[in-house]
Amino acid sequence: MAGLFRLRDFIARHAYVSLGRLHRVDKKVEDKVCERNSGAIDKIRKIYRPAEFSCSKENTLGEKKNNLQIIIPMYNAQKYIVKCLDSIFSQKTDYTYKVIVIDDGSTDSASKIIKEKYKDKNLQVILQRNKGTASARNEGIATIEADYVMFVDADDMLKPGAIDCLLNKAYEEKACVVEGGYELFSRGFSFAICHLDREVPELCGNLWGFAWAKVFKAELLKDICFPQGYWYEDTIVSYILYPRCIKAYTIKDVVYRYRRNPKGFSRIRGNDVKLLDSFWVLYYTIREMQARGIVITQGKYEAILRSMITCGKRVMFMNDDIRKEVLCVFSELIDTDFADFRSEDSDLAIFEKTLRNNDYYKFRRVLVCMRE
């Protein structure tokens, strides 16, 4: 599998070189699409005005009744939730844990089924009207009564021994975050993505930006919430949660099974304006970092560039006007907020150059070739 990823990167890098040659001999569009302070952010807001952004909320850190609190948002997951909970309640461990399932307005019978099946387990089911994954997670961390918190998606599973592997390292090192590997699976195939056993000095870019496959020390979440009304709410994990960590570790064990859902929203294409949530969450998260006084390091800067690439890919199939305004905002951010930084990664430097040059022609083509 590692060879496959290297081959993919080789093809992408050489495809970019070919596109660069094409750019020099057949340049048919205007490079510069906006000037600094062009009002691009207001233009995007007129196209799609998102919900109010907030990732601040006072949560209650109660009596530590358990070692671990597991949060599972659930929406119409009757097909998968039993396998998910079986993988948790079958864990062989001396650690104590409580599972909180937040039913986000499901119309199926999942809540009824799990209440009956796991009535003798340490399971709490909370019902709420449909408000999205972020709201469900926020409900699960509103009161934390454990040393550590774990997030699991309702269609995923824990690997055997996951709780022991993560908590053993967490308690041994008094860690703020411990992250394990994960197995990506779908119909007919699976493969694992693993870490080394090590302490992680710079979390951005070295830990994954999603909330699962790891445990968080409860105190990290005391005044944090996921932004409600947005897709891609996990963005705050890298940029708001990780900077709070004093000690973080990765372990080589594969602890999580992630179900790749080909019908999931990450596969959505076209002009769905909700894809702009990727842009808005990143934009507001950068502003939140500044408001909180979070120091931008080289690692954080390069992680932000990668997030910009991911965002660019998500809006790639939207119309030209939207893509141009996204480029304008990213260019302004790079020129003003990150003027003193330069990428030390050769691939990222190519993307960074398109932003600093405000070059829409190359912006589109680089996004096709760049890996996230």
Mean pLDDT of 61-84: 98
| Residue 39 forms part of a structural domain | yes
| Residue 277 forms part of a structural domain | yes
| Residue 242 forms part of a structural domain | no
Backbone angles phi, psi at 352, to 5 degrees: -55, -40
pLDDT value of residue 29: 46
| Residue 37 forms part of a structural domain | yes
Helix/strand/coil (H/E/C) assignment for every residue in the chain: CHHHHHHHHHHHHHHHHHHHHHHHHCCCCCCECCCCCCCHHHHHHHHCCCCCCCCECCCEEEEEEEEEEEEEEECCCCCCHHHHHHHHHCCCCCCCEEEEEEEECCCCCHHHHHHHHCCCCCEEEEEECCCCHHHHHHHHHCEEEEEEEEECCCCCEECCCHHHHHHHHHHHHCCCEEEEEEEEEECCEEEEECCCCEECCCCECCECCCCECEEEEHHHHCCECCCCCCCCCCHHHHHHHHHHCCCEEEEEEEEEEEECCCCCHHHCCCCCHHHHHHHHHHHHHHHHHHHCCCCCCHHHHHHHHHHHHHHHHHCCCCCHHHHHHHHHHHHHHHHHCCCCCCCCCHHHHHHHHHHHCCEHHHHHHHHHHCCC
Instruction: Quick: pLDDT tens for 140-179.
Output: 999 999 999 999 999 999 999 999 999 999 999 999 999 9
Amino acid present at 185: F
| Residue 361 forms part of a structural domain | yes
Instruction: Give residue 278's domain range.
Output: 2-51+271-369
Per the structure, the count of domains in the chain is 1
Mean pLDDT of the chain: 89
Backbone angles phi, psi at 269, to 5 degrees: -130, 170
Instruction: Quick: pLDDT tens for 176-231.
Output: 999 999 999 998 889 999 999 999 988 888 999 999 999 999 999 999 999 999 99
| Residue 57 forms part of a structural domain | no
Residue 129 in tokens: 């009207």
pLDDT value of residue 263: 56
Instruction: Quick: pLDDT tens for 288-319.
Output: 999 999 999 999 999 999 999 999 999 988 88
99 Cα distance to chain centroid: 22
pLDDT value of residue 50: 84
pLDDT value of residue 14: 44
Crossing angle of helices 346-356/320-336, nearest 10°?
A: 100
Tell which wins on pLDDT, 29 or 242.
Answer: 242
Crossing angle of helices 40-47/320-336, nearest 10°?
A: 140
| Residue 194 forms part of a structural domain | no
| Residue 282 forms part of a structural domain | yes
Residue 57 in tokens: 């909320």
Tell which wins on pLDDT, 94 or 46.
Answer: 94
Tell which wins on pLDDT, 2 or 150.
Answer: 150
Whole-structure pTM value: 0.88
Q: Are 214 and 238 in contact (CB under 8 A)?
A: no
Residue 85 in tokens: 């909970």
Decide if pLDDT at 285 tops 50: yes
Q: CB 63: neighbour CB atoms within 10 A?
A: 7
